[in-house]
Structure 1
Amino acid sequence: YRRDHMPIDVVISPEREVAEAALRRLKYPAAFDSESFLEDEAQLMGLRLEQDCPVLNTPLRQLNDLFSTLRVIVLAVRREGRLFAPDAGDQLFAGDEIYAFAPNEDVPRLLEVFGKTTKRQERVVILGGGNVGLTVAQALEERGGGIRAKMIERNRASAERAADALERTIVLNGDALDATLLNEAGVSRADAVLAVTDDDKTNLLAAVRGKAEGCPLAISLINDPTLIPLMEPMGIDAYINPRATTVSSILRHIRHGRVRGVYSIGDAEAEVIEAQVLSTSSVAGVHIRDIDFPEGVLVGAVKKGHEIHKPSGGLRIEEGDVMVIFALASDVPAVEQLLQVSIDFF
């Protein structure tokens, strides 16, 4: 069963993908969703806008004028359950969930503009010591940074396995819904509680209990996308959708053109695609304003060499550039067509 003896090109580990998503949520606690692009030099961030957001009721066009040096693009807005690509004249309202794209250097300012604060996560309680929880705990130990983690795992054998595999993480055997055990784990003093058991309802309830005990940030693993609308009423700050995370990894390998990354948003409602422009692509040598994008498509960034550019109508796309593109699911085939080798090549 050696890999070089088997005709398999790519192996995808759902547990590893989900664990990486959990680590991103911990890194950006103000975001309910996040994904890295452009070799980890830029971030897609899902932010829920509250009443105190300083840019509510402001047209996006005006935001570009107010913060002209800020390389931030609002790629999508979810309002009353509907996801759409906003126009320059659209305003943002309290309760909106937006997906904003920015290079890493601009992320702190992005969070500030939308009324979000950043706080270093130093104490984390992980609820669930299965493959996902164990992988997260191991990654936190490997990365250092002074993060102290505790874990609660119901199954004794799994708890013992986790305890043997971890060096600095305290593992407690018991029910993640047990208030006494949560107190013993110090959830009231924790900066974040991460509920990653194999049961959605347990994750939701455990995250709620963690918040009730005083933890400021609750992140829950949710397999069933129909449960995601319950997050906000229950006070859960962020979620991890294993299906979307794993689908994104698969799409990266099956999308046409020189696609380097794909992230699936929501219940496969849209995709954010990172792709390199080929010399024979129909977008090569064309200004962004002249590219025939469908209505539900927006460009989030263009990387030329080592520099990430904020897209504008006058920016010319060249061979070798890397584009980050948001597309509603119905528009993905059209984007693929634009990124593929031109028929003239043959």
Structure 2
Amino acid sequence: MAASLTDSHEVVVIDVDSEKVDDLTYSLDILAVHGNGASLSTLQEAGIDRTDMLIASTDDDETNLVTCSTAKTVSDAFTIARVRNANFLETWNQSEGAFGVDFMVSTNLLTAEDIARVIGLPAAVNVDPFAGGLVQMAEFEIAAESDIVGQTVEETDKFEELTFAALVRNGEVIFPRGQTVIEADNRVIVIGRPESVQAFSRSVAPAKAREEVRDIVIIGGSDIGYHTAKLLEQRGFSPRLIEQDPERARELAEELPDTVVMQNDATDADFLIGEHIDQADAVVAATDSDEKNLLISLLAKNVGARRTVAVVEIGEYSGLFETVGVDVAINPREATAEEIVRFTQEGQIENLSLIEGRQAEVLEFEVNEESILAGRSIRESITELPAEVVIGAITRERDFVVPRGDTVIEPGDHVVLFVATDVLSDVMAVI
């Protein structure tokens, strides 16, 4: 969050870890303060009296709530709290201003939403909605057996309501041209109408992955596991959930009427085989342990599960998980950072998604009269924008508009852009 905000804001970071404070001081253009953010004296040292916004994002829910409440006693700062437990979010929604918090983000709920979106799209590793669901951004892993390996971007980009935004190759975001060849293990990022994104996903996924997702197994009755099951129930699925603790399993069985809850140790390969996990279309590892999620995912893959999705709390592990065979690694911290950064820029940016460690961003904004895009064709206006910008989609009065060279963007349109972070500040100054 600090890295995302420092270009356009004066940022102060408080942390109890002195080594982190030293690292931040030298790596980012911010002021880093060593101390406990829930302490009034530490907040005052950080300048809380002249702060416009305070974001409490430690790993402890209660500390975040106390920090916001304390800040409210001595300042008019707008307070944002990151919480894991969605019960706090439910309480806050029912009582405006509860806990001294102006805006609250539930990490577990956001993560569950990410999982539910990825499961529904074959080969996708990242999916985000824009423009109230009229537009979808999706990132796909291109397996060696995919039909599009060896094709050019021009050959692959044959969907009318879809924009080919970028490739990710060897961890780097590149802006391809029509003759750029797609290679195995590349990632393809597209933006478009959800139906077109779904069709594209079927064209890039290996044959086995194109089959409809029906059998979903969630392993771990954590808060994330519970909310994932609940979201899937709301979408018409009847998932299976495996929880080791008998009491927690009983609670889940009572709260999830359309989910089959089983009480067992999911690291038991014989149990997985006996429960036909080999036939599962998707297995979600959502325990409270990264190591256990990795083991469970590899076991599920080994017995024959079609696709595995693992929750990874430590962001640095995400790449490792996918390297050793996990299909999708979802980091709750990243999901939370996106939501909070989006909110801090509300008014200018309505939604955003961070790509590949913030090498690029997908952002949605409403075009005003002063925008360089207003009243001009895309072909004309794009010449005045950096090369690392792609106009991915346009919506006008809740209708999807296909962005082509002669499309004229009007004030009031919602535009979804794919932008390299290096040029983001220049782009935001003119759009």
Q: TM-score, normalised by structure 1?
A: 0.87
Tell me which residue corresponds to 1:330.
422
Tell me which residue corresponds to 2:162.
72
Q: Do structure 1's residue 262 and structure 2's residue 352 form an aligned pair?
A: yes
Question: Aligned pair in 2 of structure 1 residues 140, 287: CA closer, same or farther (>3 Å)?
Answer: same
Q: 1:26 aligns with which of 99, 119, 131?
A: 119
- Is the Cα contact below 8 Å between 1:244 and 1:268 reproduced in 2? no
Paired letter, 1:53:
S
Q: Deviations over 1:177-200 (max 9, x none)?
A: 121332344312222111111222
Structure showing greater relative contact order (alpha-carbon pairs closer than 8 Å, 6 or more residues apart): 1
Tell me which residue corresponds to 2:408.
316
Question: Aligned pair in 2 of structure 1 residues 183, 58: CA closer, same or farther (>3 Å)?
Answer: closer
SS of equivalent to 1:220: strand
Tell me which residue corresponds to 2:292.
202
Q: Do structure 1's residue 149 and structure 2's residue 239 form an aligned pair?
A: yes
Q: 2:211 aligns with which of 119, 125, 131?
A: 119
Q: 2:311 aligns with which of 221, 227, 231?
A: 221
Tell me which residue corresponds to 1:306.
398
Q: Do structure 1's residue 174 and structure 2's residue 264 form an aligned pair?
A: yes
SS of equivalent to 2:139: strand
- Is the Cα contact below 8 Å between 1:34 and 1:44 reproduced in 2? yes
Question: Aligned pair in 2 of structure 1 residues 126, 63: CA closer, same or farther (>3 Å)?
Answer: closer
Residue 276 of structure 1: how far off its partner (Å): 1.1
SS of equivalent to 1:73: strand
SS of equivalent to 1:75: strand
Paired letter, 2:120:
K
Q: Deviations over 1:225-279 (max 9, x none)?
A: 3323334443222222212211121122112643221111232332110111122
- Is the Cα contact below 8 Å between 2:109 and 2:224 reproduced in 1? yes
Residue 216 of structure 1: how far off its partner (Å): 0.9
Paired letter, 1:246:
T
Residue 106 of structure 1: how far off its partner (Å): 1.4
SS of equivalent to 1:193: strand
- Is the Cα contact below 8 Å between 1:299 and 1:326 reproduced in 2? yes
SS of equivalent to 2:122: coil
Q: Deviations over 1:112-158 (max 9, x none)?
A: 443555322222111110111001112222332xx332212233443
CA distance in 2, matches of 1:80, 1:327: 19
CA distance in 2, matches of 1:59, 1:235: 27
Q: Do structure 1's residue 137 and structure 2's residue 233 form an aligned pair?
A: no
Q: 1:10 aligns with which of 91, 99, 103?
A: 103
CA distance in 1, matches of 2:372, 2:153: 29
Tell me which residue corresponds to 1:87.
177
Paired letter, 1:308:
F
Question: Aligned pair in 2 of structure 1 residues 210, 53: CA closer, same or farther (>3 Å)?
Answer: closer
SS of equivalent to 1:284: coil
**Rg bigger for which structure?**
2
- Is the Cα contact below 8 Å between 2:135 and 2:393 reproduced in 1? no
CA distance in 1, matches of 2:217, 2:156: 38
Paired letter, 1:26:
I
Q: 2:387 aligns with which of 295, 300, 311?
A: 295
- Is the Cα contact below 8 Å between 2:190 and 2:197 reproduced in 1? no
Residue 334 of structure 1: how far off its partner (Å): 2.3
* More moved, 195-204 vs 282-291: 282-291
Tell me which residue corresponds to 1:37.
130
Question: Aligned pair in 2 of structure 1 residues 5, 255: CA closer, same or farther (>3 Å)?
Answer: closer
Residue 319 of structure 1: how far off its partner (Å): 0.4
Q: Do structure 1's residue 98 and structure 2's residue 188 form an aligned pair?
A: yes
Structure 1, unaligned runs of 5 or more: 340-346
- Is the Cα contact below 8 Å between 2:121 and 2:201 reproduced in 1? no
Paired letter, 2:245:
N
Paired letter, 1:238:
V
Q: Do structure 1's residue 192 and structure 2's residue 288 form an aligned pair?
A: no
Structure 2, unaligned runs of 5 or more: 1-91
Paired letter, 1:222:
V
Residue 5 of structure 1: how far off its partner (Å): 4.5
- Is the Cα contact below 8 Å between 1:50 and 1:95 reproduced in 2? yes
- Is the Cα contact below 8 Å between 1:256 and 1:336 reproduced in 2? no
Question: Aligned pair in 2 of structure 1 residues 198, 332: CA closer, same or farther (>3 Å)?
Answer: farther
Question: Aligned pair in 2 of structure 1 residues 153, 40: CA closer, same or farther (>3 Å)?
Answer: same
Q: Deviations over 1:199-230 (max 9, x none)?
A: 22211211110111111111111223332333
Question: Aligned pair in 2 of structure 1 residues 331, 175: CA closer, same or farther (>3 Å)?
Answer: farther
Tell me which residue corresponds to 1:49.
142
* More moved, 282-291 vs 211-220: 282-291
Q: TM-score, normalised by structure 2?
A: 0.71
